Amino acid sequence: MRTNVYLPASTDAVETAKERATRLAVRGVVGAGLAAALAVAMAGTASAQPVSDGESTDAHVEVTSSIVLSDLTPSFLLSGIPGSIPEKEGAVTFKVETNNTAGYAVTVQSKTATMAGTAGNLNTIPIGALSVKETAGAVNVTNAAYKTVTTSAQQVHTQATKSAVGGDGLSNDYKVVIPFVNSDTYTATLDYVATTL
């Protein structure tokens, strides 16, 4: 018959977690690595707490004013006999795109005071014989009456708002009073300029 003897717990009799793990490892109950892990787990370890610090910055985006005149008709032709006044609706088309909230204006002016013929032809047509206006029915028409083209800037469009995305499509009509000159093709170069207001 087997008798179990129970001894009261005392300070000397209580094994520490580390001692128990070591004893079990020696007896082959657990491997050394596992014994070490058990010892750490049973004894408990203190883990480092993360710390942080920070500040803030403001992101600023400055958008500047821009304006682009594009898709200008490269040339147009008015044809007639001396004394006639040929006219062409929508002779010149173009686009203006701007983000300027105050709007923009478009002007046109001739580089020369006369329209010259081809080589050998001494006849000319004064640039004042040519007139321009905005095409009726266009958006924001502000210059619906013909005005004489000169070597000074003549306003052909203005508006107090920015353009549509992709640009405003604009159009000008032209007419000319043909004087008694030689039959020929007479030419002058016209400069279009778009300016923010």
- What CATH number did the domain enclosing 181 receive? 2.60.40
**What's the half-sphere exposure (Cβ side, CA atoms, 13 Å) at 66?**
8
What is the residue range of 124's domain?
67-196
CB 190 within 8 A of CB 109: yes
CB 90 within 8 A of CB 171: yes
Average pLDDT in the 149-160 region? 96
* Burial class of residue 98 (count of CB atoms within 10 Å of its CB; 0-12, 13-18, 19+): buried
Average pLDDT in the 148-155 region? 97
168 and 84 both lie in a single domain: yes
Task: Determine the pLDDT at residue 20.
Answer: 56
| Number of domains composing the chain | 2
Give a yes or no: residue 49 inside a domain.
no
Given a cut of 90, whether residue 46 has pLDDT beyond it is: no
Distance CA(140)–CA(178), nearest Å, equals 31
Q: Model pTM greater than 0.75?
A: no
Residue (of 155, 137, 138) closest to 147 by Cα position: 155
Q: How confident is the model at residue 6 (pLDDT cuts 50, 70, 90)?
A: very low
Task: Determine the pLDDT at residue 157.
Answer: 95
29 and 92 both lie in a single domain: no
H-helix segments, the chain: 17-26, 32-43
167 and 120 both lie in a single domain: yes
122 and 190 both lie in a single domain: yes
- CB-based contacts of 9: which residues, under 8 Å, 6+ apart? none
Give a yes or no: residue 57 inside a domain.
no
Order of strands across the sheet with 190-196?
154-159, 104-110, 190-196
- Other CB atoms within a 10 A radius of the CB of residue 127 amount to 20
| Six-digit token string for 56 | 């803030």
| Six-digit token string for 59 | 């992101």
